[in-house]
């Protein structure tokens, strides 16, 4: 390592890339909050499941490519469940979040954080070695001057 240690220009790029990586990740909780904000926006026609009780007819499943293009419910999460409203007996689709998808996002986040933590641990060890070397050099110079 050069005299600048881990603050040199070659590491500024590394820090910038790591910062962008960490800031670019969205944990599942943040994604769920954004979905709630989207669902709170005024919709031209309210879905029956928003105003009355409903029964889930088909559990949460991945949308097909046709459904993704045709149904607005599929776009935010890529998963949809079929529901039947209690009073109107109308079939409708409701977006949902798959447990498998949530687990995948969670483990990807945990893995990324472990890699970032390991990388920074290595950087701390390297920086400590540089500082120890500088301290020993300073002590050696002081002892030579006596």
Render pLDDT for 13-45 as a digit per residue (tens, 0 to 9): 666 666 666 556 554 444 544 544 454 444 456
Give me the pLDDT at residue 32, please: 47
- CATH number for the 43-97 domain, one of 3.30.720.220, 1.10.150.120, 1.10.3720.10, 1.10.10.10? 3.30.720.220
Q: 69: pLDDT confidence band, cut at 50, 70 and 90?
A: confident
Give me the pLDDT at residue 9, please: 58
Task: Tell me the C-alpha distance between 62 and 60, whole Å.
Answer: 7
Residues in the chain: 146
Mean pLDDT (the chain) is: 78
* Torsion over CA: 15, 20, 23, 25 (sign): negative
Cβ-based burial of 54 (10 A; exposed 0-12, middle 13-18, buried ≥19): buried
Whether the predicted pLDDT of 85 surpasses 90: no
């Amino acid at each position: 390592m050069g005299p600048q240690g881990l603050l040199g220009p070659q590491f500024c790029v590394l820090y910038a890339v790591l910062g962008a990586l960490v800031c670019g990740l969205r944990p599942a909780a943040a994604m769920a909050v954004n979905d709630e904000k989207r669902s709170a926006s005024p919709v031209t026609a309210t879905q029956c499941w928003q105003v009355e009780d409903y029964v889930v007819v088909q559990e949460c499943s991945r949308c097909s490519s046709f459904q993704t293009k045709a149904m607005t419910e599929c776009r935010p999460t890529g998963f949809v469940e079929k529901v039947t409203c209690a009073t109107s007996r109308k079939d409708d689709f409701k977006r949902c979040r798959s447990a498998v998808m949530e687990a995948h996002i969670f483990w990807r986040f945990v893995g990324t954080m472990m890699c970032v933590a390991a990388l920074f641990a290595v950087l701390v060890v390297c920086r400590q070695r540089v500082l120890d070397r500088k301290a020993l050099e300073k002590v050696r110079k002081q002892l030579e001057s006596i």
